[in-house]
């Protein structure tokens, strides 16, 4: 009998034909919406492989409903939606899509940083509302970049790609990370390893790239915001829950920091209400990896991981840990 692969969402080009060509029986959700929990539970029954999204929660209950499962291939680099320990305990491999979305996500972080620094969201709203009356010496003045300090929280591949782009803007880079990165990388990025509190106090811009886990959840809480400069701009293209979103609304409203650019949200896709009416926050709909190149490469890598594991070979990109 052909191994069964369950795919939870329609994917962009090149699509999942390689799975069919590999002789697997592919069962796929053909509607572009996240599956309901009961649909996901039903879909994994009898599946040997699961190709899932960051919106699919893969926990013990789900793994128990899928006794034949050998691999969970996540269409994302983050994997906080998956209980990796529970999967590996059952001999199920978990894979992610690192590398291929690094540049796309770093570009988006910069798009948000620039947009937040220079009031692009507010400016766009003004123009579209037909309320712009012309150039003004005093209108929508933003923050400069050159000679400013960019703090990077989480210096993995994406954090490093963000740091590399900072050189073009003439910024000084400080970073914090669970481990200090190799000195050659630090040197090439001209990046200084600091403690979180130091980063919070010194940075004019902060960009978040730490994975979501028990250590990073609400890392940006009232204590952290209290250490930041009132002119600071916060950018998040990682995971929403690294920020206490209710508290972010308070600090943005009271101008205890200048602005924020968000691509991810604590209760995604729900947006904490106060955010929607603030002018000093730019809101993007989780577009970090959304370039045609990155998304295509993510499809290829997800499928390759499934082909390899079902053939009894090691995964190409297993989830770390």
Catalytic residue positions, numbered: 239, 268, 286
From residue 239 to residue 278, what is the string marking binding to ligand GLV with x (rule CB under 6 A)?
----------------------------------------
Which of 69, 77, 111, 243 lies at the binding interface for ligand GLV (CB under 6 A)? 77
Which position among 78, 121, 156, 159 is part of the footprint of ligand GLV (CB under 6 A)? 78
Antiparallel, parallel or unpaired: β 259-262 and 71-74: unpaired
For residue 263, the 8-state DSSP code is S
User: Which of these, 268, 248, 266, 271, lies nearest to 258 by C-alpha position?
Assistant: 248
Residue 58: DSSP 8-state: B
Using the contact rule CB under 6 A, the part of the chain among 18-26, 76-84, 224-232, 306-314 near ligand GLV is 76-84
Q: Quick one: 78 or 154, whose CB is closer to ligand GLV? A: 78
Q: Does 288 bind ligand GLV (CB under 6 A)?
A: yes
Cβ proximity to ligand GLV, 3 vs 288, nearer residue? 288
In the complex, least distance from residue 241 CB atom to ligand GLV, rounded to whole angstroms: 12
**Binding of ligand GLV at residue 200 (CB under 6 A)?**
no
Of the candidate spans 72-80, 144-152, 156-164, 306-314, the one that interacts with ligand GLV by CB under 6 A turns out to be 72-80
DSSP H helices in the chain: 17-21, 37-43, 60-64, 84-89, 102-117, 120-128, 157-168, 183-189, 196-202, 222-227, 245-253, 273-276, 292-310
| The one segment of 39-47, 74-82, 161-169, 196-204 that binds ligand GLV by CB under 6 A | 74-82
The answer to whether 11 and 54 are in contact (CB under 8 A) is no
Spell out, one character per residue from 85 to 104, where the chain touches ligand GLV: x when CB under 6 A holds, - when not: ----------------x---
Q: How far is the CB of 294 from ligand GLV (least distance, A)?
A: 9
Q: 53-78 burial, b for 16+ CB within 10 Å, e for fewer?
A: bbbbebeeebbebbeebbbbbbbbbb
Candidate list 16, 19, 54, 71; residue touching ligand GLV; CB under 6 A: 54
Closest separation in Å from C-beta 202 to ligand GLV: 28
Distance CA 3, CA 248 (A): 47
320: alpha, beta or left, given left = phi > 0 and alpha = psi -120 to 50?
Answer: beta
Q: DSSP assignment, residue 241?
A: G
Q: Is 284 left (phi over 0), alpha (psi -120 to 50) or beta?
A: beta
Q: How far is the CB of 64 from ligand GLV (least distance, A)?
A: 25
Cis peptide before 81 (omega within 30 of 0): no
Instruction: Report d(CA 211, CA 217) in Å as an integer.
Output: 9
Quick note: the x/- pattern for ligand GLV over 106-135, rule CB under 6 A, is: -----------------------------x
Q: Give the one residue of 289, 295, 297, 308 binding ligand GLV; rule: CB under 6 A.
A: 289
Instruction: Count the residues of the shown chain that bind ligand GLV, applying the rule CB under 6 A.
Output: 8
Q: Which residue ranges make up the site for ligand GLV (CB under 6 A)?
A: 54, 76-78, 101, 135, 288-289
């Amino acid at each position: 009998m052909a191994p069964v692969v369950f795919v939870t969402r329609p994917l962009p080009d090149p699509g999942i034909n390689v799975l069919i060509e590999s002789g697997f029986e592919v069962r796929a959700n053909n509607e572009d919406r996240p599956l309901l929990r009961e649909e996901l539970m039903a879909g994994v029954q009898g599946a040997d492989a699961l190709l899932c999204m960051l919106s699919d929660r893969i926990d013990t209950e789900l793994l128990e409903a899928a006794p034949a499962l050998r691999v969970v291939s996540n269409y994302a680099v983050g994997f906080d939606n998956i209980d990796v320990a529970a999967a590996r305990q059952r001999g199920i491999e978990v894979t992610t899509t690192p590398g291929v979305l690094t540049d796309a996500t770093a570009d988006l972080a910069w798009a948000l940083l620039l947009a937040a620094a220079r009031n692009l969201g507010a400016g766009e709203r003004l123009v579209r509302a037909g309320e712009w009356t012309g150039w003004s010496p005093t209108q929508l003045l933003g923050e400069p970049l050159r000679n400013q300090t960019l703090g990077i929280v989480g210096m993995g591949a994406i954090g490093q790609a963000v740091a590399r782009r900072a050189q073009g803007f003439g910024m000084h880079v400080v970073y914090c990370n669970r481990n200090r990165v190799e000195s050659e990388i630090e040197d090439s990025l001209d990046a200084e390893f600091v403690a979180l509190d130091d980063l919070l106090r010194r940075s004019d811009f902060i960009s978040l790239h730490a994975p979501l886990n028990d250590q990073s959840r609400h890392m940006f809480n009232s204590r952290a915001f209290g250490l930041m400069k009132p002119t600071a701009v916060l950018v998040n293209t990682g995971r929403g829950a690294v920020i206490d979103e209710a508290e972010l609304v308070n600090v943005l409203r009271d101008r205890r920091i200048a602005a924020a650019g968000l691509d991810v949200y604590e209760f995604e896709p729900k947006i904490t209400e106060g955010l929607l009416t603030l002018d000093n926050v730019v809101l993007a709909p989780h577009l970090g990896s959304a370039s045609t190149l990155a998304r295509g490469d993510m499809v290829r890598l997800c499928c390759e991981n499934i082909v390899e594991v079902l053939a009894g070979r090691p995964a190409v990109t297993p989830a770390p840990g």
